[in-house]
Amino acid sequence: MKKGITCRKVAWYFLTAIYLITIGCGTVASVRPVGKDDSALVFSIGGPVTPIYDINIPAPYTVLRYRRGWNETTDFHIGIHPTMAAFGNLALDAGATKHFLKQSQWIPALAIEGSIYGFYHVGETSSLRIYPEFSLTGSYRLSERNHLFYLGTHAMVQYVDPYVIFVPYIGFEIPFGNQLVLNLETKWYAPHEDSENRIVDYAIKPWNYGALGFTCGLSVNIGKGAQ
The boundaries of the domain holding residue 221 are 3-226
Q: What pLDDT, on the 0 to 100 scale, is given for residue 105?
A: 87
pLDDT in tens, 76-124: 999 999 888 887 788 899 999 999 999 998 999 999 999 999 888 877 7
What are the tens digits of pLDDT across the range 134-171?
999 999 999 888 899 999 999 988 777 777 888 999 99
Q: What is the pLDDT of residue 172?
A: 96
Q: If DSSP codes are grouped into helix, strand and coil, which group holds residue 100?
A: strand
Q: Give the CATH number of the domain where residue 86 resides.
A: 2.40.160
- How many folded domains does the chain comprise? 1
Q: Which residue stretches of the chain are H helix? A: 3-21, 82-85
The DSSP element (H or E) to which 89 belongs, if any, is strand 89-101
- Cα 52 from Cα 66, distance rounded (Å): 29
DSSP assignment of 117-177, as one string?
Answer: EEEEETT-GGG-EEEEEEEEEEEEE-STT--EEEEEEEEEE-SSSS-EEEEEEEEEEEEET
Least reliable range by pLDDT among 18-32, 40-54, 58-72, 188-202: 18-32
User: Is 80 exceeded by the pLDDT of residue 15?
Assistant: no
pLDDT at 63 over 70: yes
**Which pLDDT belongs to residue 3?**
47
pTM above 0.85, yes or no: no
**Measured in whole angstroms, how far is the alpha carbon of residue 109 from the centre of its chain?**
20
Query: What pLDDT score was predicted for residue 214?
Result: 93
Report residue 12's pLDDT band, with 50, 70 and 90 as the boundaries.
low
